[in-house]
A and B are shown apart, each in its own frame.
Chain A
Amino acid sequence: MEKDGIIQGCKVLLIGGSAGSLEVLIQILPMLTRIPTFAIVMILHRKSAEDNTLEELIAVKSNIPVIEVEDKTPLQPGNIYIAPSDYHLLFESNDILSLDTSEKINYSRPSIDVSFESAAEVYGESLVGIVLSGANSDGTQGLLAIKSAGGFIAVQQPESAQMAFMPKNALEATNPPYILDVEGILTFISNINS
């Protein structure tokens, strides 16, 4: 639901990104204070390694608690969750996250499309998805799924992205109502459910 240009009733905000997306997050995260009414789930293309460097980096920059995702981690408002390396992140119907090591999609695991599509089925119109900078076409199908399930979609303005391909590809295929530069993304997120 949208009222005066502000999204209401959001339960989950999905952020998908690849090359150049971490820089965007590092600018935005320190400015976000609390998100008591929804959860943020990030699906970022990352090196296939078993360390938690990305989680640690995001936790350092963020005022919002970052929860390490393990199998069957409960999804709760107020927190940030990050898809672990080398697993697809899926959403179960009872607000539980599950993991899957099946084939890479768009050369990626985690794949943005896989998580976005899975969340769209469970959260429908209570879902918001953003695709950030990247050099891959991952994310586009996922945004389409969110859109057709009644959720909200936004894309980083390609000119503001280090790698324009991914947002541009998403933009052309999905015609999103929100095309945002970095500052716009911050305002957009801060206004959710406000």
Chain B
Amino acid sequence: MINDRELELLINEVFEYHGFDFGGYSRASLKRRVDRLLQLDGFEKFSDLLYRVRTEPTYFKRMVEEITVNVTEMFRDPLFYKLLREEILPVLATKPFIRIWHAGCASGEEVYSMAIMLQEANLLHKSLLYATDINPLVLDTAKKGIFPLQMMKQYSENYMVSGGKKDFSHYYTANYGYAKFSNELTDRMVFSEHNLVSDGSFNEFDIILCRNVLIYFDKELQDRAFVLFDQSLSKLGYLALGTKETLKFSSLGKRYSQINKEKLWKKME
């Protein structure tokens, strides 16, 4: 296991050599991820890891992929999706065009969930879903829309709890242990690398979903991300966070109104 000093050293070197700033990441989680990487790749000494990160760009890429957490699922927290489906989509439906940003989308399961709901509400044709992540590898998976077939039972249950009425298998083609989601969904998605630490606002959105991403940031970096989201939201736009994340402690909190005590806030001014 690495110590605190070694972790700080790694953070500094990564910034110096590659320009990625992990300085605002929550240390407890980051440390676990680095320890896991040391074990996964069989490093005997921390200095060996440091050397490879410094000198091999491909290894640095691998490190970013492994230390960021990419766990996600379709219709994750299905009651949240039920709220979107029943309360928010009807409001968005009145707009001529709907722009959605999934910030930190990982392998895209939640983006596909949203696209399915938009299609069911007959809104997909006038929607565009922007999906971004710091990690290019997971974005490749997201673009393909191919997920393990064994997950579909769970996703189908989540879908039903979210208020879905169709047979979930209608949305994908099963083949060789994988489920490939329909191109009609993917056609309305734009995937791009984006780093919440260093990149700026790139469009104006009606809803931004950033769920279980900010838990990996310290408060200062969370505030930076909130400002970025605020700059990227239209007036009366919505911000969705993970089930244990909150806007309560942010200075933006007072300009946003929380919907039904759910992890969904509306920008009021």
Contacts and interface: CB of A to CB of B under 8 A. Distances in A.
B33 A101 contact: no
A102 B215 CA distance: 11
B69 A101 contact: yes
B32 A70 contact: no
Interface in A121-145: 121-122
The contact size tier of chain A is 20 to 34
Interface string B50-88: 000000000000000000010100000101100000000
A188 to B, nearest CB: 27
B244 interface: yes
Query: Per DSSP, are chain A's interface residues mostly helix, strand or loop, or mixed?
Result: loop
Nearest to B69: A102
A102 B26 contact: no
Nearest to A92: B28
Given A50-B77, A50-B243, A70-B244, A101 B212 contact: yes
B186 interface: no
A92 B27 contact: yes
Contacts of B27: 92-93
B26 A92 contact: yes
B245 A71 contact: yes
B32 A90 contact: yes
Nearest to B68: A102
B219 interface: yes
Contacts of A41: none
A118 B79 CA distance: 31
Contacts of B219: 72
A71 B218 CA distance: 10
A114 interface: yes
Contacts of A92: 26-28
Interface string B18-32: 000000001111011
Contacts of B77: 50
B32 A98 contact: no
Contact of A98 (B79, B215, B242): B215
B139 interface: no
B73 to A, nearest CB: 10
B214 interface: yes
Contact of B32 (A50, A93, A114): A114
A98 B26 contact: yes
Given A70-B246, A114-B32, A121-B31, 10 more contacts: A50-B80, A71-B214, A71-B246, A72-B222, A86-B243, A93-B27, A98-B215, A101-B242, A102-B29, A102-B32
Interface of B: 4, 26-29, 31-33, 69, 71, 77, 79-80, 212, 214-216, 219, 222, 242-246, 249
Ranked 7 nearest A-B pairs via Cβ: A90-B28, A100-B29, A102-B69, A71-B215, A70-B244, A99-B215, A98-B26
